[in-house]
Chain A
Amino acid sequence: MNIHTDPLGAAGLAFYSKISASISHEIKNSLAVINESAGYLEDVTLMTRKGVPLDPDRLGALASTMLKQVQRTNTIIKNMNRLAHSLDEDFKLVDVNELMDLMAHLSERTVVTKGFRISVTPADTPVAVISHPFFLENLIWLMVNFAMTVCGESKTIGMAASKAPTGAEICFSGLDRLTEENFQDFLAQDAGMLVGALNAACHGAADKAMMTLSLSGDIHHPEAVQKK
């Protein structure tokens, strides 16, 4: 892959690398908790052999901690798997609510580490469009990252999906420092290329502190999502 001959592929690979690094960090954190809990059990075992009485409540808490971490890791890996499989097909029916939820989870560590949070509002009813899931995820990731640079004092980025006459919309709000200039700069980079490749449209409204991604697609009925 060459950034000059295949800029879309290069953008996708950069996105995949960032997400993989974030996921591996999350898994390591979870393993560290399990490791300390198991280590503590080992310590307790040694102490019990020396006659120190067992504390069943502490043991129960350790078991609960480990089970919680296994569940956490399982969710992380499930999301990683969903991302990996989004490259299986090119254009396909994409459930916008599901995809938005996946991206909120995958972005969480990055967003929280930078002191922000994402507030997700799914569309009231299932909404789907024909799109390329991987590159749509890539675009949303870039939009989340850009949103952090223009977010207001609340440090909260709203991400809401809705149906639109020609498909679906994803609206990012709370962007108090959004200007026409920084929005155009953002679109001049990989995001603009992805918007074009996905046959989508992206609009910034500095006066409303929001930007909207419009996804065109004929299929946006609840039945279409249910039949998927």
Chain B
Amino acid sequence: MRILLVDDEKEFVSTLAERLSLRDIEADWVTSAKEAEKIVDTRHYDLVVLDVKMPQMGGRQLKQILEKKQPGIKTIYLTGHGSEEDYEAGSAEAAYYLMKPININDLIDKIKIALAREAI
């Protein structure tokens, strides 16, 4: 399984990737939607973990672009933002919608469940 993490908080996303790799999950990370678009052109990912609120382009818009590039790619949203409206919209679109700070074991469980499901 190969995961892509996209979040504009570099120290968060790089450390999370490192921790996932310690658990034998191959995870690449980028800090912007633009970088995500580029890397997805060159590598295949089973699942992408997207920050909902990022400068220039948020996770919800990026999800649509990545799905066109790699149909069937699964998505988990991450956010520090807790509005009910965002939660409802995000939950309907992605496999999961997780609030920061996250528990890594929770994230791994959700990744495994999402990958075991049909494409959402």
Question: In residues 116-146 of chain A, which contact B (Cβ within 8 Å)?
Answer: none
Contacts A113-B54, A115-B55; is A35 near B9 (CB within 8 Å)?
no
Chain B residues closer than 8 Å to A1, beta-carbon distance: none
Asked if B9 and A32 sit within 8 Å, CB to CB, the answer is yes
Q: In the complex, what's the smallest C-beta–C-beta distance from B72 to chain A, in angstroms? A: 28
Question: In residues 14-32 of chain A, which contact B (Cβ within 8 Å)?
Answer: 21, 24-29, 31-32
Q: Does A166 contact B (CB under 8 A)?
A: no
Q: Does A149 contact B (CB under 8 A)?
A: no
What's the A-B contact tally at a CB cutoff of 8 Å? 67
Alpha-carbon distance between A204 and B16 when the two chains are bound, in angstroms: 47
Number of chain A residues close to chain B: CB under 8 A: 26
Q: Does A186 contact B (CB under 8 A)?
A: no
Chain A residues closer than 8 Å to B58, beta-carbon distance: 113
Q: Does B38 contact A (CB under 8 A)?
A: no
Alpha-carbon distance between A32 and B101 when the two chains are bound, in angstroms: 4
Q: In the complex, what's the smallest C-beta–C-beta distance from A161 to chain B, in angstroms? A: 26
Chain A residues closer than 8 Å to B102, beta-carbon distance: 32, 35
Chain B residues closer than 8 Å to A114, beta-carbon distance: 55
Residues on B lying within 8 angstroms of A by beta carbon are 9, 11-12, 15-16, 18-19, 22, 53-56, 58, 79-83, 99-102, 104
Residues on A lying within 8 angstroms of B by beta carbon are 21, 24-29, 31-37, 39-40, 43, 47, 62, 65, 68-69, 112-115
Q: In the complex, what's the smallest C-beta–C-beta distance from A129 to chain B, in angstroms? A: 34
Asked if B53 and A32 sit within 8 Å, CB to CB, the answer is no
Q: In the complex, what's the smallest C-beta–C-beta distance from A141 to chain B, in angstroms? A: 18
Chain B residues closer than 8 Å to A25, beta-carbon distance: 53, 79-82
Contacts A21-B81, A28-B100, A28-B101; is A33 near B55 (CB within 8 Å)?
no
Alpha-carbon distance between A19 and B92 when the two chains are bound, in angstroms: 27
Which of A34, A113, A115 is in CB contact (< 8 Å) with B53?
Answer: A113
Max chain A CB contacts within 10 Å: which of B9, B18, B58, B81? B81
Asked if A112 and B101 sit within 8 Å, CB to CB, the answer is no
Closest to A111 in B: B55
Closest to B14 in A: A36
Alpha-carbon distance between A103 and B100 when the two chains are bound, in angstroms: 25
Q: In the complex, what's the smallest C-beta–C-beta distance from A118 to chain B, in angstroms? A: 13
Contacts A35-B102, A43-B19; is A29 near B55 (CB within 8 Å)?
no
Chain B residues closer than 8 Å to A40, beta-carbon distance: 15, 18-19
Q: In the complex, what's the smallest C-beta–C-beta distance from B82 to chain A, in angstroms? A: 7
Of the A-B pairs whose beta carbons lie under 8 Å apart in the complex, a sample of 9, sorted by A's number, is: A27-B80, A28-B81, A31-B100, A32-B9, A32-B12, A36-B101, A39-B15, A39-B19, A65-B11
Contacts A24-B82, A43-B22; is A36 near B99 (CB within 8 Å)?
no
Asked if A113 and B55 sit within 8 Å, CB to CB, the answer is yes
Asked if A39 and B104 sit within 8 Å, CB to CB, the answer is yes
Alpha-carbon distance between A43 and B20 when the two chains are bound, in angstroms: 11
Which of A29, A39, A112 is in CB contact (< 8 Å) with B9?
Answer: A29
Contacts A28-B99, A29-B100; is A21 near B19 (CB within 8 Å)?
no
Asked if A26 and B53 sit within 8 Å, CB to CB, the answer is no
Closest to B10 in A: A33
